[in-house]
Amino acid sequence: MIPALVSGLFTGLSLIVAIGAQNAFVLRQGLSGRFVFPVALVSAVLDVALITLGVAGLGALLESVPFLLGAVRWLGAGYLIWFGVSSLRRANSGESMDVSGSGPATLSAAVIATATFSLLNPHVYLDTVVFLGSVAAQFGDSRWWFAVGASIASLVWFFALAFGAKALSRYVANPKFWKVLDTVIASIMFTLALSLIVMPLGV
């Protein structure tokens, strides 16, 4: 039980800590201070749901149907490229973030945007469903403890990212801060998109 739980915790953290489209969105919401709790909660819940599906065997199903992985790959690559271009446009705008008007204007819009960023990120499926599902299977009857550990990692990470971002609030009025942040985010998005295009399916 304990080895599976600890393994799930650290494996989950190793996969989720890298800043991607989902994390970038959560970070920006945390910085803006708008709908921080629901954004963190929806992100974590969706991640936990995908982990559960992976441990339940969906990972094996996706690996056996190349078309599904291919669809996720190309849809995700296009989405990441779009997000990267949007970040570059923000970086070159020379503007700072308008905290009062940035991001989704309503709770429902924030929830929908969070779900979109979460579910259109192909690495969520490849990492949580396929990879974590495969690793969890190695623990046999303790595989659900592995899922619990990975789920705890998601909960801790998303809430820490969302609420910890407020420590950067004093920088949001500085255009240079956003230029650097959005440029870095764009670079990460393009790198992720390229890795999806060239990576073998199911890896």
pLDDT tens-digit series, residues 23-52:
778 888 888 888 999 999 999 999 999 999
Q: What is the dihedral of CA 162, 174, 116, 134, to 10 degrees?
A: -60
Q: What angle do CA 179, 181, 182 make, to 5 degrees?
A: 70
Sorted by sequence, the CB contacts under 8 Å of residue 33 that are 6+ apart come out as 99, 166, 169
Sorted by sequence, the CB contacts under 8 Å of residue 194 that are 6+ apart come out as none
pLDDT score at 102? 55
Residue type, 192: L
Residue type, 58: L
- Contact of 146 with 8, CB cutoff 8 Å: yes
pLDDT in tens, 139-171: 777 889 999 999 999 999 999 889 988 776 666
- Contact of 64 with 165, CB cutoff 8 Å: no
| pTM of the shown model | 0.68
